[in-house]
Amino acid sequence: MQRFLASKEVSHPQVAIIGLPYDATATFRRGARFAPAAIRWASWSIESYSPVLNRDLENLCLQDFGDVELPDPPEEMIESVMQTMHALPEGCLPLLLGGEHTITLGAVRALARRYPRLAVLNLDAHLDMRDRYEGKSLSHATVMRRLAEELPGSLVQLGVRSGVPEEFEAARRLCLWSSPYLFLPPSIYEMLRERPIYLTVDIDVLDPAYAPGTGNPEPEGLSAHELLRFLRHLQSLHVVGMDVVEVSPPYDPSGMTAVLAAKIAREAILCFVPHLSC
């Protein structure tokens, strides 16, 4: 088997893999800080070749930059993620391995400076649209509210099936599109095709039967096949950054959630990075 997330140095990486072991604002079951190591371990079980896409990671230049040591206060963590993003080589696609969903805010803030028309496509079971949670304005329960406020008319949420009334009202008011289904109206899809995209995949968008290892499992989710098929249908989008978040290895002794996260990472890379040799 090929460990495609193994660390290696290349002169001009097309993909920069970064681990963000952070779960300081988790509110139910912590453990997402162990995810980057678990996903790298799980990548031993995943071939570098995708038979569906007929593409192989061996033909791409990937570099794993390791894990970033992050402070607990979310404000400081977000700043550290932003600095990490700014330091990446020019022209590479960042793939962030969370960690909880708050890390997305730092990544998007950094990329929004480079891409003023940046849109965010969020696949998630939870709206994460609270204004404050447990007295905090920055947490994994408020992250999409902050993004929607900072990037008006730029947030699309799919697979969302959990939230309080305040969040659903905020989503109707602040999101470009919000749906419990993996469905993009043609007008929204065409709009996204014209803009740079940050793609964030919260593993709990999947049904817990497929991904039990997460902090806030939510029933009635997607199957692994549905999610992967949808990602492959997004190949025409201009994705400039992406993450896989909220994998919590302590709650899945089988390791199947981390294996699925590794496959999502592989398919996303092969969907959105030009297939060129190093």
Tell me whether residue 117 is exposed, middle or buried, using C-beta atoms within 10 angstroms of its C-beta: 0 to 12, 13 to 18, 19 or more. Answer: exposed
pLDDT digits over 185-200, tens only? 999 999 999 999 999 9
Contact yes or no for 39/244 (Cβ under 8 A): yes
pLDDT at res. 84: 97
Whether residue 231 is contained in a domain is answered as yes
In a domain, 252, yes or no: yes
Number of structural domains the chain divides into? 1
Taking the CB of residue 244, how many other CB atoms lie within 10 A of it? 25
Q: What is the pLDDT of residue 8?
A: 58
**Distance (Å, whole) CA 72 – CA 171:** 28
Residue 5 lies in a domain: no
> Domain containing 250: what range?
15-68+93-272
173 in a domain, yes or no? Answer: yes
Q: How far apart are CA 123 and CA 229, in angstroms?
A: 13
State the distance between the two ends of the chain, measured CA to CA, in whole angstroms: 21
Instruction: Please report where in the chains the tokens 């969302």 appear, as a residue.
Output: 160
Residue 193 sits in a domain of what CATH number?
Answer: 3.40.800.10
What pLDDT does 27 receive?
81
Per-residue model confidence (pLDDT) at position 104 = 98
pLDDT tens digit string along 215-238?
Answer: 999 999 999 999 999 999 999 999
pTM of the predicted protein model? 0.95
Instruction: Reply yes or no: is the peptide bond before residue 31 cis, omega within 30 of 0.
Output: no
Domain for residue 46, yes or no?
Answer: yes
Question: What parts of the chain have a pLDDT lower than 50?
Answer: 1-2, 276-278
- Domain assignment present for 75: no
In Å, how far from its chain's centre is CA 166? 24
Instruction: Compute the distance between CA of residue 261 and CA of residue 39 in angstroms, rounded to an integer.
Output: 7
Residue 277, domain member (yes or no): no
pLDDT value of residue 29:
86
In a domain, 47, yes or no: yes
